[in-house]
Amino acid sequence: MSPAYGVISDDFTGGLLIASYFEEAGLECPVFFSPEAAAAAAPITAPIVVIASRTRLIPVEEARTELTRALDALDALSCGTIAYKACASFDSTEEGNIGLAADMLSDRYDQVPLLLSAGFPEFRCTVNQGHLFYQSVLVNESVKRFDPVTPMPDPNLVRFLSHQTRTPLGHVSHLDMFRGEDAAFAALAEQIGEGHRHVLLDCADDHDIEISTALARGSRAIVASDPLCISVGLDRAHARTGTAKPPRHAGGPSAVLIGSVGPVAEQQTALFEAQYPVHYIDLTADVSAEELIARATAWAADHIGLRPFAITTLAKEAGVKAAQAMLGQMGAARHAERLLSGIAARLRDLGVRRFIVSGGETSGAIVGALGIERVRPFARGPLGGGFCVAEGGDPVSFFLKSGKLGTPDVLLRALDEMTP
């Protein structure tokens, strides 16, 4: 039996997060880190499959190529419904790539209207009247404005995303959905009648998610953040809950790698540093990447097996601006990823088998550097999702988290969760 639902996530942490919800519901959901690995695993009997991509920030034409590869793989697996999963705050540059995904899915599957849904009310990220709110304030006034790569300067998602697509977005509002399913379907029909090929659905609360799931019931493809992506998956695969044995974490030393910046990452790192050693890497240092990796690895060697530790490229706002001035906005981010992924490879050679990683792009770089193509997620727990293990003869466990999410003590709690 083929998968009922195939998902392409725009980064690794997002893919693992939604997979943890499916695993919690008893639906086996392997996560693949390349389209080729997914296609090579055919036939797959799991009801849901996730391909974790890195399409959030890459250039548009590069994203088009990667999305085509991922869609080819999901089609080869005969997935019933396809979703492109974006993060809750619909992080993207002004050029893309959420609008690109909407255009591609609409064209490939003749899906009109193509429904889009942002937000994650569970984490106080909502969309009301087409405007994105983060932690209860407009996204451009929230801590998201400090994001060095995707600060989301325009909270009007209808306007912002319309710059990324061939056609302006339509919109079904919270008020339409508050009035019930019939009113929401009527509002959607009105948007279609006005010629809108893509329609954004508000996501202000759980009722909006419920109505949006009904609106998407006939769709072959959607573009959505976590809530609708999860709800549609549960709807499609509800008859195929399984009894797969839950995975177990690998044994061995632990390391924390932090590639995020901003107030959330600063708070989490500070609380971790109150108990365990932390090594900071200066992205503006006038030395080679190889030397920075060697220094961090030598420092870590004194702690491996004795105590947990962290290595980070975190910097205060002035440090971030200095790195971006020297390397460029994307250049600074990619430099940090290259350093931390290179360090991760060295740490594994030194015996580390449990990695806690903060940052979606950083997570993707590290998993890639370790040559891992498939993981089994753990069911959602007290810390949410993100726990997984690369099974086999030499297993490696991970906790991969978004840099914007988590309580201040999440790194410490993740250590406890991964320890038998």
**CATH of range 5-240; options 3.30.830.10, 3.40.50.10840, 3.40.50.620, 3.30.1360.180:** 3.40.50.10840
What residues does each domain of the chain span? 5-240, 254-418
Partners of 49 in the β-ladder = 6
Query: Contact 89/95 with Cβ under 8 angstroms?
Result: no
Q: How many helices (H) and strands (E) does the chain have?
A: 15, 18
Q: What is the pLDDT of residue 396?
A: 96
Range in 200-204, 270-274, 313-317, 399-403 the model is least confident about: 313-317
Query: Contact 66/38 with Cβ under 8 angstroms?
Result: no
Average pLDDT over residues 54-64: 91
Band (376; pLDDT cuts 50, 70, 90): very high
Query: Contact 37/373 with Cβ under 8 angstroms?
Result: yes
pTM higher than the cut 0.75: yes
pLDDT tens for 314-346 read: 887 777 788 888 878 788 888 899 999 999 999
**At residue 18, does pLDDT exceed 80?**
yes
CB atoms < 10 A from the CB of 287, how many?
Answer: 10
**Domain 254-418, CATH:** 3.40.980.20
Question: From CA 215, how far away is CA 209, in angstroms rounded?
Answer: 10
Q: What is the pLDDT of residue 148?
A: 64
Start-end of H helices in 48-200: 60-76, 98-109, 157-162, 174-178, 181-193
List the Cα angle 54/35/361 in 5-degree steps.
15
Please check whether the two domains, 5-240 and 254-418, share a CATH topology. Answer: no
pLDDT tens for 101-151 read: 999 999 999 999 999 999 999 989 999 999 999 988 999 888 777 776 677
Residue 7, both tokens: 């998902």
Query: Contact 183/176 with Cβ under 8 angstroms?
Result: yes
Question: From CA 45, how far away is CA 28, in angstroms rounded?
Answer: 9
